[in-house]
Each structure stands twice: as structure tokens, then as C-alpha cells.
Amino acid sequence: MSVVQLVALVVVAVGAWATVAAREPVRQTVVVSLYGLTLGILFFTFQAPDVALSNIVIGAVALPTMILLAIAKTKH
Amino acid sequence: MEDPPRRPGELSFRGRVRLFLGGAAVLGALLLWGLAGLPDYRSFTPLYGQLVNKDAISERSTTAVVTAVNFDYRGFDTLGEEFILFAAVLVLALLLRRLADERRGPLADSPRRVHTTSALVRLTALGLVGPTVLLAVYITAHGHLTPGGGFQGGVIAATALLLVFLGSDYEHVQRLRPKPLVETAKAGGALAFVLIGLAGLIVSGAFLENFLPLGHPGDLVSAGTIPLLSLAVGIEVSGGFVLLLSDFLTQLLVLHRKPDR
């Protein structure tokens, strides 16, 4: 396993922990977006660029947007 | 920890912890058992992957083997996935529709108007709309040459709409996405996938058979039906996500519950 892959794995683990540790929903949404991005980078380092692309768009943009809109609607 | 008052038959806090620890131990043991049986890193070379890697370029004239699997060898699976997404968007649109006790309200008291976006954010967002659309077209059109394809490109295209919302306001988003066109794109993309599959059945005798000339590997027009199917998925996915986002925004900004009588 290369250094880049190891670093990516550690970053994803930290990101997953940070997502759980952030208790405030709006903050958590921002963290989960960053987590989606790091997960995409992890997939990329393991030679799965197709999955990486999907995850970056879905995990870092689409999913947080839906959560944010849902939070905004319930608070409104 | 003080136990909250509980109903008869309800577990105490300590009981819940014990139940969790028991379940977690069993799950953990099973997981460890399964992980212990995994092949070592990079030592697993399944036959299917070897065969596809060896034959996809010569058989299908595509340089992106993953796309060849998605839209050709296992195109039928992609058809299923496409209709899962189709059904999911349909159900969400149904959930987000205007209910009987909701009315279309004025935009004036919406949160967007209260917190104005800074000029810098607006400028950056609007400046990124063009490049985002271009990237979406590129990723979709080159799915059979480089990593990517219709799904990835379609979602990227839909995020361009988010940038428009970030850079301007709800009215501009609505003007940019004529609902009949978006709905037609969503349904038409799904239909096109099936029609291309049926064309394969008629011309070559098998559903989703690659019946078009394959061309030269690496050319933009090559790989037969693969780029067409990818394009169909791209149109459906972008239509679906645009519909989703704009329905969410409408539900958030325009629809208000009628005051209780």
C-alpha cells in the first residue's frame, strides 16, 4: 500500500469521526460534504476514478444540499 | 445515571446498554471473521476482471473498461439502476408537491431575502456556471474514452443549477428550468435507454446488444451504442436532479402552510 493510500485512509477515518462528532445539524452537513470529498479522493487513490467522480458529486454536493434544504424547511 | 421514568415492560438504561453490547459483540465477531477471510491486498485477481480488461478494447473499441461494463456487458443492470433513480425522483416529486393545506406564498419573507449573499459569492458562483456545464458535457461525452459517463456528467450538470441559485435567486432558477422540458428530459432519457436496447434486440437479436459500428478505439465517435446509452443516462439523471432540486427549493421558499382556522 502506498503512502498516498495510507494518508487517504487516515483522512477518511478522521472525516468519519468528525461527521459523528459534529452535533449541530448545519455544521454536520458541511462536515459530511468534506467527508464525501475525502471519500472520493480515497476511491481515486485506489484506482477507481469512476466511483470517485460519482462520490464527489453525490457525497460532496447533492447529499449535503438535500440535507440543508430539509433542515431549512423544518426550521422555517 | 438516573433512569428516566419508564412504562411497564420498557427496558432500563442499563438493560439497553447490555443489549447493545451483546449485539455489538456478535456483529463485531462476525465482521472480524469475514474480514479475516479476505484475500490479501492486491492478491485477488478475479477472472471476470481479467477477461474484461483483456477483451473490452478489441471487442468494443472503448478505452474505458468500466463504462464498457456499465453500458454494454452489464447494460441490463444499468437499466435497472436507471429506473431505481427514476422511481426515487418520482416519489420525491410526489412528496414535495403542493398539498391541500399549503398555499403559494410571497417570496418576501423567505430566508434568502433576509440574508443577502455577498457580491463576491454571487460573482464566483455565476462565473462557475459555464465551466460546470462544460465539464458536465465533457464527462458525459467522453464516458467511453476516459473515466466518467452519463451518471457523473448528469449530476454535475444539475449542480450548475445550484450555482445559479447561489449566484442569483429563486426566480432565475425557475426561469432556467422550464418544468415541461425538464420532465420530458427525465422521462425521455429513460425511454431512450430502453429504445436503444430494443433496437439491439431487433437488429442483432439480443436486448442491449451493441449493434452500431464500433469505430476506432479512442475516437470521440466510437464504441457503438455505449456513448449513446451514456448520453441517455446523462439526460435522465440531469433532468431528475434538476427536478429534485427545484422542487425542494419551491417547497422551501414558496409553499407555506395555510394558517390554522
| CB nearest B155 (choices: A62, A69, A72) | A62
Determine which of A33, A43, A57 to mutate to test the interface with B (most B C-beta atoms within 10 Å): A57
Q: Cβ contacts (< 8 Å) between A65 and chain B: which residues?
A: 162, 245, 248
- Given this model, what pLDDT does residue B30 score? 96
Which pLDDT value is given to residue A7?
95
Q: Count the domains in chain B.
A: 2
Q: Does residue B248 sit within a domain?
A: yes
Locate B127 and state its grid cell: 462565473
Cα dihedral B189, B233, B139, B184 in deg (nearest 10): 20
Inter-chain CB proximity B159 and A62 less than 8 Å: yes
pLDDT in tens, B70-92: 888 888 999 999 899 999 988 98
Whether residue B177 lies inside any domain: the answer is yes
Grid coordinates representing B105 are: 406564498
Q: Is residue B6 part of a domain?
A: no
pLDDT digits (tens, 9 = 90+) for A11-69: 999 999 999 999 899 999 999 999 999 999 999 999 899 999 999 999 998 899 989 88
Residues B181, B79: one domain?
yes
Instruction: Look at residue B24 in the predicted model and tell me its pLDDT.
Output: 96
B18 lies in the same domain as B136: no
CB burial of B180-206 (b: ≥16 within 10 Å; e: otherwise) equals eebeebbbbbbebbeebbebbeeeeee
C-alpha cell read off for B149: 459517463
pTM metric for this prediction: 0.80
- The four Cα atoms B94, B95, B101, B104 give a dihedral, to 10 degrees, of -70
- Mean per-residue pLDDT for B22-49? 89
B89 and B137 housed in the same domain: yes
Residue B202 has pLDDT above 80, yes or no: yes
Taking the C-alpha atoms of residue B217 and residue B214, their distance in angstroms, rounded to an integer, is 8
Half-sphere exposure of A19 (CA within 13 A, CB side): 19
Residue of B nearest to A72 (CA): B252
Whether B114 shows a pLDDT value over 60: the answer reads no
Residues B28 and B119 in one domain: no
Angle between helix axes A63-75 and B226-253 (nearest 10 degrees) is 20
Distance CA B230, CA B150 (A): 4
Quick check: A62 and B111 CB within 8 A? no
Residues B37 and B57 in one domain: no
pLDDT the model gives residue B25: 97
Q: Indicate whether B40 and B168 sit together in one domain.
A: no
ipTM at complex level: 0.84
Q: Which residues form the domain of B246? A: 52-257
Asked if B185 contacts B241 with a C-beta cutoff of 8 angstroms, the reply is no
Same domain, yes or no: B18 and B103: no
Q: Does A57 touch chain B (CB under 8 A)?
A: yes
B31 and B107 both lie in a single domain: no
Per-residue pLDDT, B132: 94
* CA–CA min distance A16, chain B (Å): 18
Identify the pLDDT of residue B5. Answer: 67
pLDDT of residue B3: 55
Residues of A in contact with B64 (CB under 8 A): 50
Residue B4 lies in a domain: no
Q: Based on the structure, what is the number of domains in chain A?
A: 1
- Residues B26, B110, single domain; the answer is no
- Which residue has better confidence, B20 or B218? B20
In a domain, B1, yes or no: no
* Predicted pLDDT at A6: 93
Question: Does some domain include residue B212?
Answer: yes
- DSSP for B174-206, please give it: HHHS-HHHHHHHHHHHHHHHHHHHHHHHHHHSS
Are residues B91 and B65 part of one domain?
A: yes
Residues B252 and B176 in one domain: yes
What is the per-residue pLDDT for B162? Answer: 86
Tell me: pLDDT of B4 over 70.
no
Which residue segment(s) compose the domain that A17 sits in?
3-75
